[in-house]
Structure 1
Amino acid sequence: MTAAPVPTAEDFANLRRLRAEDPAAIGEALASRRRRSVTQGDGRLFIVAADHPARGAIAVGANPTAMANRYDLLERMAIALSRPGVDGVLGTPDIIDDLAALGLLDDKIVVGSMNRGGLRGASFELDDRYTAYDVDAMVRQGLDFAKTLIRVDLDDAGTAATLEATARAVNAAAAAQLPIMLEPFMSRRIDGKVVNDLTAEAVILSTAIASGLGNSSAYTWMKLPVVDQMERVLEATTMPTLLLGGDNGGDLDDIFATWQAALALPGVRGLTVGRTLLYPADGDVAAAVDTAARLVHTGL
């Protein structure tokens, strides 16, 4: 199924029809897409992320339901994926299946999000179960990369189950020779809400913990937040590192400046960003994505 860069009402009608009447076509679309190597050209990656809704995180900035409209999200994703320098997408199966059926994944790296069971605001949020992709499914469906979230709260016993499950995911990915990015945080509850510690010391500690998970680190990448003293953070790992963007809560020019500085550090391979670029304050997704792409791929 081939679609214009921005899906039309007819494209969405056909997507709904496929889901109801010909679900096998979705798997066929994934299997037949044109694939590329993970690293090529300048060796840097710019991945657009859209795995937030599956964890109940649909807010962006002050808008509590920004990501609730799936059609609006898919339109924004289509715009982002059509821009030069965008290497791929990170999503849960529902998002990836929609994009595949819409014909938007050719020549893109597809990253499967694995653990979405730590629902935002839940009492069990730190027991972050693996409820989305597993490695076998990603290999079978021809995905290119895996991704996990690891929030470590030393006062929450749910962390132990997440660490153990993540180690198993790393083992499976290494056995399948599938790259896997780990997104670690030191976290704690403040007034009942899980908050990530974004000091350099905390990010260094979370990186050390995540780095040791699994029986091989050969295929492990890091996905780390941009914080003060980022050069110290990058000294904590030899693993290829992608920078994450976080929520859309600040001035975009300031955010771009921090990304640019961090992208110049040794070991940094690119960006994995979602809400900040998909829901910019001025509504211009293409312009926001283009600016970020030029930061990653300086030859654009």
Structure 2
Amino acid sequence: MRAGRVTGTHTEGGDAGRSPRVDVAELVRVRTHHPEAIAEAAARRARRPLLDENGRLMIVAADHPARGALGVGDRKLAMANRADLLERLCLALSRPGVDGVLATADILDDLLLLGALDHKVVMGSMNRGGLQGASFELDDRFTGHRPEDIQRLGFDAGKLLLRIDYDDPGSLTTLESTARAVDEMAARRLPVFVEPFISRRDSAGKLGNDLSAEAVTKSIAIASGLGGSSAYTWLKVPVTDDPDDMARVMETSTLPAVLLGGDIGDSPEGQVAAYEKWRGALQLPTVRGLVVGRSLLYPADGDVAAAVDTAVGLL
């Protein structure tokens, strides 16, 4: 075993869909005695271009836990078991056609130690301060990867969340911080994926995202204009409530875009419906791929490999 590296846990592509086993005790041992092993693993990681020859991206997302968003459907703490999450991620990353992962530092550090990120696109999650259900949820501070962290670790891109509530002054703080993050990423020639929403609170104070065609159009227009350069900006957008509206919505910007998955619930019917919505939107000229997390890592039938393979097939 190479000093400070956890081995024997990552399954290679072409396996039979079995989840690899993660040795938590060994991860903790390395973190305790050799914390420098994380930087060393990042330095030796074999890299690849953001896009391969087909010009498409299939990214698995796992940055939800850092915002306290651990639920999948009715399972409120589905993502709380870290070993289970890492095993699902390693399996997803081993499937043919999966380009990479989006996650926070704690998860990416584990995946580096597990050797699961070679020849993968690695995207650091930048703002996780808007905790799910908090009164300050829309004052979404940049508490994750900084642009300098992404550059230092040799990662390939960053992602940030931009939720705008016209009635919440905290949105302005997030908007300004987002613009500066776009500037800092562009200065380093690093792609940044901006995930915009028009958001509103209901009568009970619960925050929700407006997925109407008008709201998604406005969010795309606002996100596209942030910062002093859009050269390295990508969009990460939801499919509208009515998928037939997506062609008109995506005419709002010439920035390349990927579709996000979101929580589609626990039912097989919901999974099938989501695939069909993605299939149609992926035909649009600005849409270059998918960034999907919970619906692939925690599918209704429990078959992570099959869910991932189906999503890859849509590309």
Structure 1 runs not aligned, ≥5 long: none
Which residue does the alignment assign to 2:314? 295
SS in 2 for 1:19: helix
- Map of 1:195-234 to 2, 5 A cutoff? 195-227=208-240, 228=242, 229-234=245-250
Q: Which amino acid aligns with 1:254?
A: A
SS in 2 for 1:163: helix
Distance across 2 between alignment mates of 1:208 and 1:52: 25
SS in 1 for 2:123: strand
Which residue does the alignment assign to 2:264? 248
- Map of 1:1-300 to 2, 5 A cutoff? 1=5, 2-3=7-8, 4-5=10-11, 6-9=19-22, 11-190=23-202, 191-227=204-240, 228=242, 229-249=245-265, 251-296=270-315
Check whether the contact 2:59–2:102 (CA below 8 A) recurs between aligned residues. yes
Q: When the two structures are superposed, what TM-score results if normalisation uses the length of structure 2? A: 0.92
Structure 2 runs not aligned, ≥5 long: 12-18
Deviation (angstroms), 1:30: 1.2
- What is the aligned residue count? 295
Check whether the contact 2:256–2:287 (CA below 8 A) recurs between aligned residues. yes
Distance across 2 between alignment mates of 1:7 and 1:215: 44
Q: Which amino acid aligns with 2:302?
A: G
Q: Which amino acid aligns with 2:260?
A: L
SS in 2 for 1:122: coil
Distance across 2 between alignment mates of 1:31 and 1:226: 37
Deviation (angstroms), 1:246: 0.5
Q: Which amino acid aligns with 1:281?
A: A
Distance across 2 between alignment mates of 1:118 and 1:173: 21
SS in 1 for 2:252: coil
Deviation (angstroms), 1:222: 0.3
**C-alpha offsets along residues 246-299 of structure 1, whole Å, 9 cap, x if unaligned?**
103252111111111110111100000000111001000000000001112xxx
Q: Which amino acid aligns with 2:232?
A: Y
Check whether the contact 1:248–1:279 (CA below 8 A) recurs between aligned residues. no
Check whether the contact 2:20–2:91 (CA below 8 A) recurs between aligned residues. no
**C-alpha offsets along residues 186-229 of structure 1, whole Å, 9 cap, x if unaligned?**
00111111100000110000011111111100000000001120
Distance across 2 between alignment mates of 1:62 and 1:104: 30
**C-alpha offsets along residues 151-170 of structure 1, whole Å, 9 cap, x if unaligned?**
00000000010001001100
Distance across 1 between alignment mates of 2:26 and 2:39: 15
Check whether the contact 1:242–1:272 (CA below 8 A) recurs between aligned residues. yes
